[in-house]
């Protein structure tokens, strides 16, 4: 981040005070921070404290003649390497999605030609409101990076999604946004973890996927500079910092989230998606009855990988996984053809290998040219090698 310039727009929410810590850490990394406060932000943090921490003038008004004489708002919007909105309030997100420009912050956001990253923070009801959901989808579609929010207790006393992401994770997302890596400017979609298919409100069908390999892949892609959308089922391992996490539970939710995340340059489908869901799942807990056992009826889940590969707006490179227990290469080669994806990363998940849920992996990458066996190595090294191969493939195209 040394010497890189960040235009930081601080929105008016209780999390605005955390922007002070963010400024400090960005400067510790050697970045230059030019702060902009919305009028509402000034109710939460003072321009003086922001200015002192940033060691910079604070910009506040659109029609400030002194500011316009020193640096016009168009120039200000472009004099940065990255524009960051932290915290991004529901109001700011709504204005951005609509393209409004009624104050300095929103005018800069519509005038900029630089990548934009937002770190939303708001009450859980506001985050889940259909208008915010719509605005978020619009912003993602416009290519805006999103970091957080995360789940947790809120200043208002409620609990849920809406908390400002942890500052180190925002710093990691900013570092990825500023990276000169070979995936800079690329959007890569990663699915990861298992899915849970409900039987009733307390029971579900799942599998042993820990999400470790998908998480490592998302981190490796981020480290090469990609903007990563990470669609994850309920995994054991925490999602990586600095990526846009979309948390889902069922295969059908994962399928919707994947389509919403498009367009993307590449997709890596590392999730262990359940093949079936229970059609007669109940809204209240199933009880033992004297007259026999419950009968679960199943229906097939959408094949997310196959559906994505066949879309007209599919990512240029679609990578699937094949978890097999026997005849790995033959099954995986057939799977590649059946699913219509470009590469299949095949692995042997028989219990004796210790791969599922373990720290290592031994994969064979199958593409149009044949099969390439990689040695057994850590999941992090497998991820880095795969990310590098993806970067090379996108560069060639
Ligand atoms: N996959 C998917 N949607 C599904 C099932 C699988 O996107 N409903 C993806 C996985 O993320 C993985 C690839 O398809 O990238 C292969 O998953 P796997 O479970 O090995 O294959 P299946 O489709 O379940 O095939 P089979 O049951 O024949 O092994």
Each residue's pLDDT, cut to its tens digit, for the chain (397 residues) gives: 899 999 999 999 999 999 999 999 999 999 999 999 999 999 999 999 999 999 999 999 877 767 777 778 889 999 999 999 999 999 999 999 999 999 999 999 999 999 999 999 999 999 999 999 999 999 998 989 999 999 888 888 889 899 999 999 999 999 989 988 999 989 999 999 999 999 999 999 999 889 999 999 999 999 999 999 999 999 999 999 889 999 999 999 999 999 999 999 999 999 999 999 999 999 999 988 877 888 999 999 999 999 999 999 999 999 999 988 889 999 999 999 999 999 999 988 888 887 777 788 889 999 999 999 999 999 999 999 999 999 999 998 7
Q: Are 309 and 341 in contact (CB under 8 A)?
A: yes
* Residue whose CA is at the smallest distance from ligand 1 atom 9: 305
Decide if 170 contacts 86 (C-beta within 8 A).
yes
Q: What is the pairing mode between strands 227-232 and 343-348?
A: unpaired
Q: How far is the CA of 323 from the centre of ligand 1 (A)?
A: 8
Cα–Cα dist 37/73, whole Å: 14
Query: What local confidence, expressed as pLDDT, does residue 260 receive?
Result: 92
Q: Which atom in ligand 1 lies closest to the alpha carbon of residue 271?
A: 11
Dist. CA 333 → ligand 1 center (Å): 13
Q: Ligand 1 center to residue 272 CA distance, Å?
A: 7
Residue 214 in contact with ligand 1 by CB distance below 6 A: no
Cα of 327 from ligand 1 centre, angstroms: 16
Nearest to 27 by CA among 6, 58, 57, 48: 6
Q: Mutation test of ligand 1: which of 233, 320, 333, 366 has the most ligand atoms closer than 8 Å to its C-beta?
A: 320
Asked about 156 being catalytic, the answer comes back as: yes
Question: Does residue 251's CB lie within 6 angstroms of at least one atom of ligand 1?
Answer: yes
Ligand 1 atom nearest to CA at 308: 7
Report the pLDDT value the prediction gives residue 187, as an integer from 0 to 100: 95
What pLDDT score does 304 carry? Answer: 98
CA of 320 to the centre of ligand 1 (A): 8
Its pTM surpasses 0.85:
yes
Rounded CA separation 55/67 (Å): 17
Res 154: pLDDT: 82
What the chain holds in terms of domains, given with CATH numbers, is: 5-178 (3.40.50.1950), 187-396 (3.40.50.10300)
pLDDT of residue 65: 67
Report whether residue 355 contacts ligand 1, using a CB cutoff of 6 Å: no
Single out the catalytic residue among 52, 137, 156, 259.
156
Atom of ligand 1 nearest to the CA of 302: 8
Q: What is the pLDDT of residue 158?
A: 87
- Binding site membership of 341 for ligand 1 (Cβ less than 6 Å): no
Cβ(210)–Cβ(231) below 8 Å:
no
The C-alpha atoms of residue 339 and residue 293 are separated, in whole angstroms, by 36
394 Cα–ligand 1 center, Å:
24
Which residue shows structure tokens 């922001």?
Answer: 50
Helix (H) or strand (E) holding 217: helix 212-223
Predicted pLDDT of residue 261: 93
Determine the Cα–Cα distance for residues 277 and 290; give it in Å rounded to an integer.
26
- Map tokens 């708002």 to a residue: 73
Whether the CB of 332 sits within 6 Å of ligand 1: no
Q: Which residue has the tokens 């400090």?
A: 24
Instruction: Please report the atom of ligand 1 found closest to the CA of residue 323.
Output: 20
Element (H, E) at 16: none
In this structure, how many other beta carbons lie within 10 angstroms of the beta carbon of residue 243? 27
Report the nearest-CA residue for atom 27 of ligand 1. Answer: 275
């Amino acid at each position: 981040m040394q010497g890189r310039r960040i235009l930081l727009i601080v929105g008016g929410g209780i999390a605005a005070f955390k922007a002070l810590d963010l400024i400090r850490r960005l400067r510790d990394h050697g970045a230059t921070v030019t702060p902009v406060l919305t009028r509402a932000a000034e109710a939460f943090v003072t321009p003086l404290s922001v200015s002192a921490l940033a060691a910079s003038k604070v910009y506040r008004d659109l029609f400030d003649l002194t500011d316009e004489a020193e640096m016009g708002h168009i120039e200000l919007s472009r004099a940065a390497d990255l524009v960051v909105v932290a915290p991004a309030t529901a109001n700011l997100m709504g204005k951005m999605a609509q393209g409004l420009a009624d104050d300095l912050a929103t005018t800069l956001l519509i005038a900029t030609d630089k990548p934009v990253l937002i770190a939303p923070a708001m009450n859980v009801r506001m985050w889940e409101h259909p208008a915010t959901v719509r605005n978020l989808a619009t912003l993602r579609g416009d290519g805006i990076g999103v970091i957080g929010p995360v789940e947790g207790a809120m200043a208002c006393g409620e609990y849920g999604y809406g908390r400002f992401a942890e500052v180190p994770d925002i710093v990691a997302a900013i570092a990825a946004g500023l990276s000169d890596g070979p995936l800079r400017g690329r959007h890569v979609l990663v699915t990861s973890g298992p899915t849970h298919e409900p039987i009733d409100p307390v029971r579900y069908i799942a599998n042993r996927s820990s999400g470790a390999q998908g998480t490592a892949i998302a981190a490796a892609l981020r480290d090469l500079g990609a903007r990563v959308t990470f669609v994850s089922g309920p995994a054991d391992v925490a999602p990586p910092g600095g990526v846009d996490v979309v948390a889902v539970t069922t295969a059908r939710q994962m399928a919707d989230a994947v389509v919403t995340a498009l367009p993307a340059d590449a997709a890596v489908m590392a999730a262990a998606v359940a093949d079936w869901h229970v059609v007669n799942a109940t809204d209240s807990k199933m009880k033992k009855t004297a007259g026999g056992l419950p009968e679960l009826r199943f229906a097939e889940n959408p094949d997310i990988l196959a559906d994505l590969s066949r879309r007209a707006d599919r990512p240029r490179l679609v990578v699937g996984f094949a978890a097999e227990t026997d005849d790995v290469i033959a099954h995986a080669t057939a799977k590649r053809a059946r699913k219509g994806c470009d590469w299949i990363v095949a692995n042997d998940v028989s219990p004796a290998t210790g791969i599922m849920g373990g720290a290592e992996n031994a994969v064979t990458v199958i593409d149009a040219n044949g099969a390439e066996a990689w040695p057994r190595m850590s999941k992090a090294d497998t991820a880095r090698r795969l990310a590098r191969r993806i970067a090379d493939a996108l560069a060639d195209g």
